[in-house]
A and B are shown apart, each in its own frame.
Chain A
């Protein structure tokens, strides 16, 4: 049973016979523990909503856990390490009463008034509202050698795997901020870093571009797409094709770091929530309201465009405020909320 406070059955408990026995119905469950999830948790906790955060078992803290210096988060003029920033966000949420679970959601039942979340451990949690902030997962190139050699020279995490490429030649695929950050970071280890990009110019911010251009270990391979990754047991090279004249050439190297972007992580809600053509979860205008009442979404999972730690945090704030309004509205619309322990017979059920 959660700490503190009486168990508050939601307004509709009388008319909802399928409430799982022995499970508290919370005000809100937040799925995801990146900047969106934790910021939503900070706001919800400060509103006394006692949020439960399902943080994931191995990806708690989200994408920033695999970054090094975060230099564009306001309030940290000297920069801050990604994992440190996420630890601070978690501490801030917990300080106000958020509860964090290191587990993974394996099933969601969110169409009814009680949102039911099943975890990898088998535990079931229920709430009147849900904030879905699962972020995005790294995108794959989609070629044969990529999966086969994943972990054998193909990597999606420079900070995890760069160490193993000391004095080797490697390539970073992509032209955005994360590709430039990875390429620059990897020059600490590698003797040479090729940056392979499909276009003739970068999407990355000017400061990241300039840093990469100034680095003598980085060589740009412009207007080229990766068509094959070579190697049997380990990566031995890359085959690229020019997007201008179609000429193919191979580059011998030992490692390939893929940083071509991210796709919103929506697999748990594909058939449950409306999505946009971009694959993100549809939300109503500038709000966080999804196509289902009581279900809100925030962060990269609704954002095909900006995808920053700061915008995700802002989006988490919007979701928490929307949850507050929603809970207030259903409280007014339904039967008066009552503490379960004030109702005869229910205390035993909850204690079970």
Chain B
């Protein structure tokens, strides 16, 4: 299972009302570092299907959400839990560094 896409329409259901932690990757086509981090998130999702849900949000197609969450730098990854932002990670990082940042969710 790789990370799926989300958007403004399904945001409430996918993210805010979700049961467990949901990591949202704010990304765009033109962002080189986003393209590098994307397959890493797919791997983390595949390796931890029960522990965390990873979703991708295209900021070009969903500018309302990018603005609402004050995104000024991508890739930006936010972990939502019960509708609240719990963790924010900014910038592309190697897999081991992301796993460290997400340790509380992946444990």
Residues of A within 8 A of B (CB): 56-61, 65-66, 83, 102-104, 106, 120-121, 150-153, 155, 157, 159-161, 163-165, 233-234, 255
Interface flags, B67-93, vs A, CB<8A=1, else 0 = 000111110100000000000101111
Check if A161 sits within 8 Å of B94, measured CB to CB: no
Q: Which residues of A contact B40 (CB under 8 A)?
A: 57-58
Q: Which residues of B contact A165 (CB under 8 A)?
A: 72
Check if A58 sits within 8 Å of B94, measured CB to CB: yes
Distance A66 CA – B36 CA, assembled complex (angstroms): 12
Check if B94 sits within 8 Å of A104, measured CB to CB: yes
Check if A57 sits within 8 Å of B74, measured CB to CB: no
Instruction: Name A151's contact: one of B28, B73, B93 (CB within 8 Å).
Output: B73
Distance A83 CA – B74 CA, assembled complex (angstroms): 17
7 residue pairs bridging A and B, Cβ less than 8 Å apart? A57-B36, A65-B33, A106-B96, A151-B76, A159-B30, A160-B33, A161-B73
Distance A244 CA – B42 CA, assembled complex (angstroms): 53
Check if B74 sits within 8 Å of A58, measured CB to CB: no
Interface of chain A: mostly helix, strand, loop or mixed: loop
Distance A269 CA – B19 CA, assembled complex (angstroms): 46
CB distance from B50 to the nearest CB of A (A): 23
Please tell me if B23 contacts chain A, counting CB pairs below 8 Å. no
Enumerate B24-81 residues with CB–CB distance to A below 8 Å: 28, 30-34, 36-37, 40, 59, 66, 70-74, 76
User: Chain B contact residues (Cβ within 8 angstroms of A): what range?
Assistant: 20 to 34
Check if A160 sits within 8 Å of B74, measured CB to CB: yes
CB distance from B71 to the nearest CB of A (A): 6
Check if B66 sits within 8 Å of A164, measured CB to CB: yes
Check if A155 sits within 8 Å of B72, measured CB to CB: yes
Residues of B within 8 A of A (CB): 28, 30-34, 36-37, 40, 59, 66, 70-74, 76, 88, 90-96
Check if A58 sits within 8 Å of B92, measured CB to CB: yes
Q: Which residues of A contact B71 (CB under 8 A)?
A: 164
Check if A163 sits within 8 Å of B28, measured CB to CB: yes
Distance A109 CA – B32 CA, assembled complex (angstroms): 31
Given known contacts A163-B28, A234-B70, is B76 in contact with A58 (CB within 8 Å)?
A: no
Q: Which residues of A contact B76 (CB under 8 A)?
A: 151
Distance A151 CA – B89 CA, assembled complex (angstroms): 9
10 nearest interchain CB pairs?
A: A151-B90, A58-B92, A151-B73, A58-B36, A57-B94, A65-B32, A164-B72, A120-B96, A161-B73, A104-B94
Given known contacts A120-B96, A151-B91, is B36 in contact with A160 (CB within 8 Å)?
A: no
Q: Which residues of B contact A120 (CB under 8 A)?
A: 94-96
Closest chain A residue to B92, Cβ basis: A58
Check if B31 sits within 8 Å of A58, measured CB to CB: no
Closest chain B residue to A168, Cβ basis: B72
Q: Which residues of A contact B59 (CB under 8 A)?
A: 163-164
Check if A233 sits within 8 Å of B72, measured CB to CB: no
CB distance from B31 to the nearest CB of A (A): 5
Q: Which residues of A contact B28 (CB under 8 A)?
A: 163
Distance A162 CA – B76 CA, assembled complex (angstroms): 14
Q: Which residues of B contact A161 (CB under 8 A)?
A: 72-74
Instruction: Name B72's contact: one of A56, A59, A255 (CB within 8 Å).
Output: A255
